[in-house]
């Protein structure tokens, strides 16, 4: 038996209600968390593919070409996701079902989705593929999806009963790998950047006095915040860690 905690998102502010359970984690209960994690990673892969091309022309983008030399890195990242979140083989198979890591086209509409419409929809919509707007959506989308990824990881880890002492190293490795995917050329995004964006974007709603999150849940988020700060602050880009 694996101790499990149900996770319910509360409203648009990112507040989280956690309900303790003690039972085997199944795919049905894990699916919301795993979809949030894999969607964020899927967005980062598309953004990275665009950035790696260097030309900002969506017609030239190949997700398959981008991922081909990065299969080992992606495998390591996914193994860390499995370990931290305690996802079963059945749950991890959802990644294949979603198709984010297969070859596919990248459209201006998908970049607008990953950047959550912050740039607005131009008129005519075909302008979404203009290089200047593509570049801006990639910058915004990378920040947003890296932040969403960390929130989904910490929430899933707490739901699986993975405390910060056990899970923080794996989450830090995931952040390093995700940052390399999102910014494969300049490498300007660090885990410390992601941690600080996540802290101000998500934690206030969860940790405020009126939050519906239980005290043990608040303590879990606070501990992950403190341990991530200890681990990644001041850390620059790192070389790729071999996966064994």
191-216 per-residue burial string, b: 16 or more CB within 10 A, e: under 16: bbbbbbbbbebbbebbbeeebebeee
Q: In the chain, where are the structural domains located?
A: 3-232
DSSP state for residue 6 in the 8-state scheme: E
Which pLDDT belongs to residue 124?
93
Which pLDDT belongs to residue 240?
43
pLDDT over threshold 90, residue 154: yes
Q: How far apart are CA 194 and CA 181, in angstroms?
A: 13
Place of tokens 């017609």: 59
Which pLDDT belongs to residue 24?
37
Task: List the Cα angle 13/15/21 in 5-degree steps.
Answer: 155
Quickly count: other Cβ atoms within 10 Å of residue 55's Cβ: 11
pLDDT digits (tens, 9 = 90+) for 170-214: 999 999 999 999 999 988 899 999 999 999 999 999 999 999 999
Which pLDDT belongs to residue 33?
85
pLDDT digits (tens, 9 = 90+) for 11-25: 333 434 454 433 334
* Integer angstrom CA distances of residue 125 from 43, 109, 133, 143: 20, 9, 11, 23
pLDDT digits (tens, 9 = 90+) for 24-48: 345 666 677 889 999 999 999 999 9
DSSP H or E run through 18: strand 15-22
DSSP H or E run through 208: none
pLDDT over threshold 80, residue 4: no
Residues of the chain with pLDDT > 90, as a percent, come to 77
List, in sequence order, the alpha helices (H) in the chain: 27-53, 63-67, 71-85, 89-92, 94-98, 108-114, 131-159, 164-182, 191-207, 215-232
Beta bridge partners of 17: 8
pLDDT over threshold 60, residue 111: yes
Place of tokens 């968390």: 33
Q: Which of 46-55, 73-82, 230-239 has the lowest mean pLDDT?
A: 230-239
């Amino acid at each position: 038996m694996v101790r499990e905690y149900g996770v319910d998102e509360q409203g648009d502010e990112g507040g989280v209600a956690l309900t303790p359970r003690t039972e085997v984690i199944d795919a049905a209960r894990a699916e919301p968390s795993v979809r949030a994690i894999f969607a964020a990673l899927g967005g980062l892969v598309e953004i990275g593919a665009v950035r790696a091309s260097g030309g900002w022309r969506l017609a030239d983008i190949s997700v398959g070409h981008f991922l081909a030399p990065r299969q080992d890195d992606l495998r390591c990242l996914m193994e860390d996701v499995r370990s931290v979140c305690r996802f079963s083989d059945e749950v991890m198979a959802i990644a294949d079902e979603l198709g984010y890591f297969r070859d596919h086209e990248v459209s201006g509409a998908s970049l607008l989705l990953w950047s959550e419409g912050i740039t607005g929809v131009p008129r005519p919509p075909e302008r979404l593929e203009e290089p200047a707007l593509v570049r801006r959506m990639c910058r915004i989308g990378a920040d947003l999806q890296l932040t969403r990824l960390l929130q989904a990881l910490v929430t899933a880890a707490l739901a699986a009963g993975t405390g910060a002492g056990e899970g923080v190293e794996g989450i830090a490795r995931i952040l390093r790998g995700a940052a390399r995917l999102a910014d494969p050329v300049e490498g300007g995004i660090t885990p410390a950047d992601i941690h600080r964006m996540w802290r101000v974007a998500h934690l206030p709603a969860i940790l405020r006095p009126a939050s519906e999150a239980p005290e043990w849940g608040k303590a879990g988020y606070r501990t992950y915040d403190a341990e991530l700060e200890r681990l990644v602050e001041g850390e620059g880009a790192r070389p790729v860690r071999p996966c064994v």
